[in-house]
Amino acid sequence: MRPVAPPSSFGVTHPLDMVTAQEITAARRILVESGDLTETTRVPRILPVEPAKDLVLGHVDGADDFDRSLRVTLLETDSGAVREAVVSVTEGVVLDRRDVPTGTHPYGQPQYLFEEYERASEIVMADRRWQAAMARRGITDTSHSLVAPLAPGYFPHEGYAGHRMIRSLTFHRRYDGDNPWAHPVAGLIALVDLTAGEVVELTDEGEVPVPSGDWHYTPDHVGEPRTSLKPLEITQPEGPSFRVEGSLVRWENWTMRVGFNAQEGLVLNQISFRDGQEDRSVIYRASVPEMVVPYGDTDVTRYWISYFDAGEYLLGKNANSLKLGCDCLGVIHYFDAVVADDHGNPMPIPHAVCMHEEDYGILWKHTEVGEQPQVRRSRRLVLSYFATVGNYDYGFFWYFYLDGSIQMETKATGIVFVGAGEPGTENRHAPEIAPGILAPVHQHIFCARLDMAVDGLANSVEEEELVGIPIGPENPHGNAFTWRRTPLRSETARDADSEAGRRWYVTSTGRRNGVGKPTAYQLTPMAGPRLMAQPGSSAARRATFAQHHLWATPFDAAERFPAGEFPNQHAGDGLGTWVEAGRSIEDTDVVLWHTFGPTHIPRPEDWPVMPVDYSGFWLKPHGFLDSNPALDVPDWSQARHHGGDHQCSCGH
């Protein structure tokens, strides 16, 4: 049956294209007409329904006969009831509806609406107890104060499971344009029932004065910029090396499709590497669908904090519009994105994703005595986006290299979350980073989802470790060591070990390389601390993915978010539960989940705005190719650009 509205009528030419404004508008209209969306209904989240892999892999360019559906979360603001609807915009119908049992264990609430932040602030500032608490601190003019609404975690002893709750801390902005984060109001916290519209609990333990120091980072306060840095210009007079056709990107040997959605942000689909005349698949789908930020402070205003910035706040919905010369340098291609606002209308994010090329130093080099030295410069394709969630800003950068390697890097910056204390305070959970300003220890634990497809969907997983050999018959001189590969036969969680050089391989079960081994890609992890919250804690139950560096599971379309669909106020779901099934990961469609990120003990140099903190991992071909694929990279020497020969020359 032909669609009522074919995908092309919505500006879509491929099943994996980003959601368009026309599709969101159509989905909203269908829901209104079906009675599913009324004046009191809000839309916390709209996500594309991922098309089946066989449909995508069998898609023929130009075909206009595939379905485009959206999964829409519906919140009734008057009752707090939550439903999910699957809407086919091509067929013009609601395909499915289900109630979300937010009042039943293990509970869970939809992501927060933008309007709820303002509403929570209004509720708190109208509360007489909050006003009295501020007055007790000598603050009677609260017109510029910032009430920061934050996800409340899950603590069943509080008795509000099933209610739509939010906690609010207070920061005092003394005047318009003041930096509110520099003036935390210690010991004051409000627990707000958003459905009832009231503060159900206000805690005031504050005897600490509100810090009054001036801490600013904007040019109007910092003063004239330094003049010692000279301009650095990046030019590509012949244009970039990449080509873009809709969502399809081609750069050197790489091909991929660029996607974006409200929760995960940037998604890369069908990543392949060209080997001779063949585009060989590497990854079917790659994203960073979740991150948790657990705090290690026992203070009443912080012990409950373990934000899920994707699952509670929506990273993609909070994406920045990037600017040339600021966020990206060089010859840039931008991808615009569209998400839904709180009412289910399209909300465009212009320039949500930046793509450009960067020089990356030496790719390979050798100097042979008596012969002309050979050196080639490395270059990488960069796809990135930034999301701002409250006080923190997060950059997500995917790098593709000429040698077939892929790097994923996150950049954490923004303003560290702070509290107040008496100047000179020693606090084992929160170092003093400025007089009277304490910044609690915390972690930023990201989780990448890598739906692998190394030479097809039939893959297996192996773990490699370096092995020392005791002095003896097998190691008579004591210098020998070797390695050990162990197949991971069923879904599992594993941890990095820097001493053993532990790495993981996704191998093809149907293709061999030139030396007769299965073709493979290697995951080199970031071996940082795992979740520091103790087993049995609320944070540990809710963020099971952060307890291990690697999880390997068979593909399941329902397993998309490592902390589950609705981690907000949820008792715990996701990877820790899924792997209990013990499913096989041999010769099957395999998904790797890699957790990584910094554990942050704040320092004075992080204040009042934090320099970027980097973290990430690498994926490298390991027997995927039969030789160095970058032998034919040209010698772009300076001499060539000045009329000389094609060889590098140092001028001696």
Positions annotated as catalytic residues are 309, 392
> In sequence order, what are the residues at sequence separation of 6 or more whose Cβ sits closer than 8 angstroms to the Cβ of residue 589?
53, 451, 453, 457, 458, 459, 554, 555
DSSP state of 211: P
- Residue 118: CB atoms within 10 Å: 12
- Residue 629's φ and ψ, nearest 5 degrees, are -80, 0
Extended beta strands in 100-251, E state? 107-109, 146-150, 165-171, 184-193, 198-204, 243-245, 248-251
Ranges assigned E (strand) in 13-81: 41-48, 69-76
Element (H, E) at 360: strand 346-366
Residue 221 main-chain phi, psi, to 5 deg: -105, -35
**H or E element at residue 118:** helix 114-125
Residue 190's alpha-carbon distances to 55, 120, 193, in angstroms, are 49, 10, 10
Cis peptide before 431 (omega within 30 of 0): no
Give the β-pairing of 419-420 and 550-554: unpaired
Length of the chain: 652
Distance CA 110, CA 107 (A): 10
Are 452 and 550 in contact, with CB atoms under 8 Å apart?
no
Among 423, 452, 448, which Cα is nearest to 438's? 423
Q: Going edge to edge, which strands form the sheet with 198-204?
A: 146-150, 165-171, 184-193, 198-204
**158 near 304, Cβ under 8 Å?**
no
How many helices (H) and strands (E) the chain has is answered by 8, 35
Q: How many CB atoms lie within 10 A of CB 251?
A: 20
Region for residue 309 given its phi and psi (left: phi exceeds 0; alpha: psi -120 to 50; beta: otherwise): alpha
> Taking the CB of residue 479, how many other CB atoms lie within 10 A of it?
8
39 contacts 31 by C-beta, under 8 angstroms: no
Q: How far apart are CA 628 and CA 417, in angstroms?
A: 46
Burial label for 609, CB within 10 Å (0-12, 13-18, 19+), is: middle
